[in-house]
A and B are shown apart, each in its own frame.
Chain A
Amino acid sequence: MIEMLQYEFMRNALMAAILVSIACGIVGTYVVIKRIVFISGGISHAAFGGVGLGYLLAINPILTAIPFTILSALAIGIISKKTKAGEDSAIGIIWAGGMALGILFIDLKTGYTPPDLFSYLFGSILTVPTTDLLLMLALDAAIITTVALFHREFSAISFDEEFSTIIGVPTRRLYLLLLALIALSVVVLIRVVGIILIIALLTIPTTISIQYTNRLKKLMLLSTLTGIATTTAGLYLSYLFDLASGASIVLVLIAVLILSTLLKPKPHSTTKTT
């Protein structure tokens, strides 16, 4: 493990593991408790349009992915609430629409598939450049600040949207803000696990951790720590056996989830009293 750290790309990879885990721990908690996993799946796939836009404009695809993904997230939120289409149709439309735009943008620019495109789809934690690390750090800071300011509203709308409206929470706007936060964490995650596997990191650490606590703050902390442990383990395995890093991380997450479910002591929260 120590010898790994001699290399700069390894230090960067570890740093990336920590940064993605913070985003996943905090935002993933809301994704799981508000049950918007597939909205998040739609948002993460739509992010491909933003990556393609980066190729088209010849700038860092992570930079173009930020506004593109936020707009896609808002589009899902608005289409699902304002039209008769319903949430799952909205997810499908934006999911495919974003990916189609991405393919079109790349096609317009190059006419062939750029060699590093694969890393945006499937992730490549070992090749995260320092500039992207700094971007990820800034996005994490934005996520933490927003949650610190609006955690009361986020937990209210996650628990009971109708009651939140009555007590004066600007429910609609806060919901869109939450979707925008998901968009930001998607961008943080693109480099590490790739667009296709993002949803695993947004849901599995929290799904593991929720077995051990029923307090929101603890859940965020525990999810973050779970994320750090599992991404580091996945990274180490991929280094050791020369495996694809994104896939290793996701499979470690699933293995830990299965183990923790099997080994879990009697649930503490489901004892009913009448």
Chain B
Amino acid sequence: MSGEIVRLRDVWVHLDGIRVLEGIDLDVNQSDFLAVIGPNGGGKTTLLKVVLGLLEPDSGEVKVFGKKPCDGRFLIGYLPQHRSFDPNFPISVFEVVLMGRYRGLFKNYSSEDEEAVVESLEAVGMLSLKSRQIGSLSGGQLQRVFVARAIVREPDLLLLDEPMSGIDPEAQKSFYELLQELNEKMAIVLVTHDIAAVSTYVETIACLNRRLFYHGPTEGGLGKLEDAYKCPIEILAHGTPHRVLKEHY
């Protein structure tokens, strides 16, 4: 079973005249766990925004669940990198997650929606904080609540933009375990500039610096990333630190 979820073919994106993505081909299939790593400014967030249909590529084909991104994105859960909300915003953790169940104009949230919120808050271990005002949480707690918001609509694909930022190293391990659990139900794509954060839980790695170097299943591991980073890099992988990826081609 390899249901196709995302299919990008020769996607080019320019932002304000600067080339950000160059001939990207990408396939994400059901139950994949893909990490896209690359330097800051390498186009990682742009790539996610193309998949979400927030950015229209200059050329190339983008299909999400076989449809245009803006028609297919309702089956995607998204954890944005920047959370620029007002910390005094009058809203509880529960209400933030409930927003993830939005189904359209004039459609009230049902008791089923509320149960889904309880379930996803439980899955991320944040149920006990459900009545707290959103701005009163710590960075790691917020991250978990926003993951709950992303998974509450039971998506088939979860996109995570720098999910480990603001999470201390000990908490990262349990966060990866959470992702691994979620991966049983949905495909996951995470992007990060922090190679150290990419753990052994990730099945597939791609390097992105305008161009995407896809490494397939990590039979090797982390290695020759210099082509993407354009500089020598030091590898810190959890668990099996001496793996090597195939050369870029």
Contact = CB atoms under 8 A, between A and B. Distances in A.
B90 A216 contact: yes
Contacts of A213: 90
Could you say which interface size class chain B belongs to?
A: 35 or more
Interface residues of A, number: 33
Nearest to B138: A274
A150 B91 CA distance: 17
Interface string B71-106: 001101010100101101111100110011011111
B135 A270 contact: yes
Given A156-B99, A159-B91, A168 B133 contact: no
Interface string A155-178: 110111011111111100000000
B144 interface: no
B54 interface: yes
Contacts of B52: 166
A111 to B, nearest CB: 48
A162 B90 contact: no
A269 B88 contact: yes
Contacts of B40: none
Contacts, number: 79
A168 B90 contact: no
Contacts of A131: none
Given A159-B89, A216-B91, A269 B133 contact: yes
A167 B102 contact: yes
A155 B91 contact: yes
Interface string A234-274: 00000000000000000000000000000000000111111
Contact of A163 (B99, B105, B106): B99
Given A152-B109, A166-B78, A158 B73 contact: no
A248 B126 CA distance: 48
Contacts of A166: 52, 54, 73, 76, 78
Interface of A: 33, 35, 149-150, 152-153, 155-156, 158-160, 162-170, 210, 213-216, 218-219, 269-274
Interface of B: 52, 54, 73-74, 76, 78, 80, 83, 85-86, 88-92, 95-96, 99-100, 102-106, 108-109, 133, 135-138, 140-141, 149, 153
**Top 3 A-B residue pairs of the complex, sorted by shortest distance between their CB atoms:** A214-B133, A269-B133, A274-B138
24 contacts: A33-B86, A33-B89, A152-B99, A159-B89, A160-B83, A163-B80, A166-B73, A166-B76, A167-B102, A167-B153, A168-B102, A168-B104, A214-B88, A214-B92, A215-B90, A218-B90, A269-B88, A269-B133, A269-B135, A271-B136, A272-B136, A273-B136, A273-B137, A274-B138
